[in-house]
């Protein structure tokens, strides 16, 4: 093309890009820039096309800087450079340039939106809450901005009504917006409304299938009452078929007198319940017979991660690596066994397990089957999975005498006297995850209050900050004839863990949830002297409260039916002096039980590890 026709290249480029032909459009814009090198639009357009992929983002920065130099006062040019910087991973520089664009054009909605997403990458809550809602306000039809605003409301404010409104706006604009559908699933799961949660997850999977969304659906499924065994098991098998197909087992190495090599992989090796359940096992191991490698996937160190690192023979943080790269790093350690604690809640565990980086793989602290054939064993205990259990597992259940391992929180305040003695009435209570507060649980608690005249109920849960969960609680209490003046709802966060534990100073008896029983919450209640009445269901996840009560020497707290649950709670209230004595001694009983004996639990698990290795060698 001759120089007289050079002005046609931008027209050609725009036409190609409009038709979705980005590669051809990029060539045309490069020719336009070559013939008119002082044209900032050409350079900025090159930058925007290259920025559409992370692979091209690094090469997009140079033309972006050329454009910004040629037109320092053009918001669109600054925006193109900032987008390239963000895609390349230089979020600090991207933040500066996005702000420069907004200084030139304060109502640049897309710049507000992109800056909000960069804030998410940088975990900067204040910026996220400032820019994404502003982007949505500037363009009410921008589904991406509304979904982004909801994401920040989830992570920072837990403003449930605002989350719901934002997601409804996103879906009104774009009904098949995958992120908004996924967040709707999460929202209703957190509210304890599992039927709509499952519907939104299914809608999301229909438009954008992904392993992460399907894992979220499986998690919601476990909270849901009245789901058949066939659906539970079938859904897990379907996940495995799609995302974890069977692979050959790597060969096991002979021991030849060496230590057994154990690895643990988790995204929870920081200030997280997974770490709290695992650290004692690592510290109390038999170091002469077991070599332990910890593979963390965490953003950065904290006191718990440093404690774990100090306890291990080998520690590495694999955050930012692909699943394949993580599996390769694990293979380098030539493990005998790889343990995946609480993998259902983990960002990477199930995907890495599917790649079979070790000859033996173990699911630890799982709530149900994984459905994944690459898991050889599921560690459980004799109460969680009795010999007569009909629960279907793809893994072989390996029953310890008891499974949960806890330690008294450093922030735990002293146990206080029984509040009923001063109040003149009994107070029931629950601090459980609001996802567990389904309609059946609320109805059971209402029946319990109705059976104990004058009793009160305290419920503390994050989702009580919205209107939906309080309305459901009101409906359940009214149906049972329980006055709302007998129920106290505590929403939001407390200032500290100690402040949260001090809520138990006001509670006489804890009430557990079904079908997913309390775990850490039940332990904390018991350690504050609050006995928790629990209903032992048919499945592992419904028996966590039961295994803690039984292993601490209090099987009388375990019910087999809803009627028995109500009667146990009523019977406890009938003898306040006995309840006061129980409260005074409950912490010491728990701390002296197998639930808090890390050395004993480590020996039990190590015996299981030796069995696994021997069974593998005999294959």
The secondary structure of residue 343, as a DSSP letter, is G
Q: Assign a CATH topology to domain 419-596.
A: Rossmann fold (3.40.50)
The per-residue pLDDT for 572 is 98
Q: What is the pTM (predicted TM-score) of this model? A: 0.86
Measured CA to CA, the distance from residue 146 to residue 136 in angstroms comes to 5
Q: Tell me if domain 261-400 and domain 419-596 are identical in fold.
A: yes
Task: Identify the sign of the CA torsion 21, 26, 31, 37.
Answer: positive
Per-block average pLDDT, block size 10, for the chain (619 residues)? 59 87 89 90 89 73 91 89 86 88 86 77 69 79 85 77 93 96 97 97 97 96 92 96 93 93 97 94 97 94 96 95 96 98 92 97 97 97 94 96 93 97 97 96 98 97 92 97 97 80 97 96 97 95 97 97 98 98 97 96 97 90
Give the domain ranges of the chain.
Answer: 261-400, 419-596
Measured CA to CA, the distance from residue 80 to residue 11 in angstroms comes to 19
Measured CA to CA, the distance from residue 123 to residue 113 in angstroms comes to 15
DSSP 53-118: SHHHHHHHHHHHHHHHHH-TT-HHHHHHHHHHHHHHT-HHHHHHHHHHHHHH-TT-HHHHHHHHHH
Measured CA to CA, the distance from residue 296 to residue 269 in angstroms comes to 6
Measured CA to CA, the distance from residue 496 to residue 65 in angstroms comes to 46
The per-residue pLDDT for 149 is 82
Domain 261-400 has CATH 3.40.50.11380: yes
Q: Residue by residue, what is the 3-state secondary structure of 446-479?
A: HHHHHHCCCCEEEEEEHHHHCCHHHHHHHHHHHH
Measured CA to CA, the distance from residue 145 to residue 170 in angstroms comes to 8
Task: Give the count of beta carbons closer than 10 Å to the beta carbon of residue 127.
Answer: 19
With beta carbons less than 8 A apart as the criterion, state whether 187 and 167 touch: yes
The per-residue pLDDT for 1 is 41
Measured CA to CA, the distance from residue 266 to residue 572 in angstroms comes to 40
Among residues 394, 340, 325, 349, the alpha carbon closest in space to that of 243 is found at 349
Strands 456-461 and 427-430: parallel
Q: Residue by residue, what is the 3-state secondary structure of 105-140?
A: CCCCHHHHHHHHHHHHHCCCHHHHHHHHHHHHHHCC
The per-residue pLDDT for 134 is 80
Q: In what order do the strands lie in the sheet with 427-430?
A: 487-491, 456-461, 427-430, 509-511, 532-535, 558-559
> Which H or E run contains 553?
none
Measured CA to CA, the distance from residue 549 to residue 164 in angstroms comes to 38
Percentage helix, strand, coil for the chain under 3-state DSSP, each rounded to 5: 60, 10, 30
With beta carbons less than 8 A apart as the criterion, state whether 582 and 418 touch: no
For the chain, what is the radius of gyration of the CA atoms? 28
Task: Give the count of beta carbons closer than 10 Å to the beta carbon of residue 233.
Answer: 17
Q: Name every residue whose Cβ is closer than 8 Å to that of residue 241 and which is 6 or more positions away in sequence.
A: none
With beta carbons less than 8 A apart as the criterion, state whether 358 and 330 touch: yes
Task: Give the count of beta carbons closer than 10 Å to the beta carbon of residue 51.
Answer: 24
With beta carbons less than 8 A apart as the criterion, state whether 405 and 422 touch: no
DSSP 188-249: HHHTT-HHHHHHHHHHHHHHS--HHHHHHHHHHHHH-TT--HHHHHHHHHHHHHHH----PP
Upstream peptide bond of 335 is cis (omega within 30 degrees of 0): no
Measured CA to CA, the distance from residue 391 to residue 383 in angstroms comes to 13
- Which residues pair with residue 314 across a beta bridge? 293
Task: Give the count of beta carbons closer than 10 Å to the beta carbon of residue 234.
Answer: 13
């Amino acid at each position: 093309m001759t120089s007289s026709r050079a002005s046609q290249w931008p027209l050609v480029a725009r036409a190609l890009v409009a038709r979705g032909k980005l590669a051809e459009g990029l060539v045309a814009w490069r020719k336009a820039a070559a013939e008119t090198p002082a044209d900032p639009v050409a350079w900025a357009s090159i930058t925007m096309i290259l920025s559409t992929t992370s692979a091209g983002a690094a090469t997009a920065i140079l033309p972006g800087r050329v454009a910004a130099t040629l037109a320092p006062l053009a918001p669109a040019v600054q925006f193109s450079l900032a987008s390239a910087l963000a895609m390349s991973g230089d979020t600090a520089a991207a933040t500066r340039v996005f702000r420069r664009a907004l200084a030139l054009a304060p109502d640049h909605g897309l710049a507000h939106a992109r800056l909000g997403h960069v804030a998410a990458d940088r975990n900067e809550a204040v910026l996220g809450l400032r820019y994404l809602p502003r982007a949505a306000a500037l363009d009410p039809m921008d589904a991406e901005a509304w979904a982004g605003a909801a994401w920040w409301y989830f992570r920072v404010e837990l403003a449930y009504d605002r989350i719901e409104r934002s997601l409804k706006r996103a879906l009104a604009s774009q009904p098949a917006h995958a992120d908004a559908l996924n967040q709707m699933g999460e929202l209703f799961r957190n509210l304890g409304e599992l039927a709509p949660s499952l519907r939104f997850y299914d809608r999301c999977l229909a438009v954008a299938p992904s392993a992460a969304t399907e894992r979220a659906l499986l998690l919601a499924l476990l909270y849901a009452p009245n789901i058949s065994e066939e659906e539970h098991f079938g859904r897990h098998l379907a996940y495995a078929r799609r995302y974890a197909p069977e692979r050959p087992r790597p060969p096991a190495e002979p021991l030849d007198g060496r230590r057994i090599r154990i690895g643990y992989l988790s995204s929870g090796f920081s200030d997280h319940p997974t770490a709290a359940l695992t650290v004692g096992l690592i510290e109390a191991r038999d170091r002469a017979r077991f070599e332990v490698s910890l593979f963390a996937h965490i953003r950065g160190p904290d006191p718990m991660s440093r404690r774990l690192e100090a306890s291990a023979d080998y520690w590495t943080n694999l955050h930012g690596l692909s699943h394949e790269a993580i599996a390769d790093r694990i293979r380098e350690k030539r493990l005998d066994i790889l343990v995946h604690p609480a993998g259902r809640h983990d960002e990477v565990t199930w995907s890495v397990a599917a790649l079979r980086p070790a000859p033996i793989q173990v699911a630890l602290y799982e709530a149900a089957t994984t459905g994944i054939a690459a898991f050889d064993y599921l560690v459980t205990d004799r109460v969680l999975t009795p010999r007569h259990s009909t629960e279907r597992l793809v893994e072989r259940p390996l029953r310890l005498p008891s499974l949960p391992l806890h330690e008294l929180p450093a922030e735990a305040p002293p146990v206080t006297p029984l509040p009923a003695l001063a109040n003149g009435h009994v107070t029931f209570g629950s601090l459980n995850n609001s996802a567990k507060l389904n309609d059946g649980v609320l109805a059971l608690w209402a029946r319990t209050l109705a059976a104990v005249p004058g009793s009160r109920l305290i419920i503390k849960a994050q989702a009580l900050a919205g209107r939906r969960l309080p309305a459901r609680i009101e409906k359940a209490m009214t149906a049972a004839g329980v006055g709302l003046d007998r129920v106290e709802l505590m929403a939001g966060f407390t200032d500290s863990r100690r402040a949260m534990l001090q809520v138990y100073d006001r509670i006489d008896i804890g009430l557990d949830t079904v079908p997913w029983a309390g775990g850490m919450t039940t332990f904390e209640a018991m350690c504050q002297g609050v006995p928790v009445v629990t209903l032992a269901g048919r499945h592992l996840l419904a028996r966590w409260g039961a295994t803690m009560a039984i292993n601490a020497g209090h099987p009388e707290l375990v019910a087999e039916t809803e009627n028995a649950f109500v009667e146990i709670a009523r019977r406890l209230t009938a003898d306040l002096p006995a309840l006061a004595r129980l409260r005074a001694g409950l912490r010491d009983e728990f701390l002296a039980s197998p639930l808090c004996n890390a050395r004993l639990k480590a020996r039990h698990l190590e015996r299981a590890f030796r069995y696994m290795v021997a069974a593998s060698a005999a294959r």
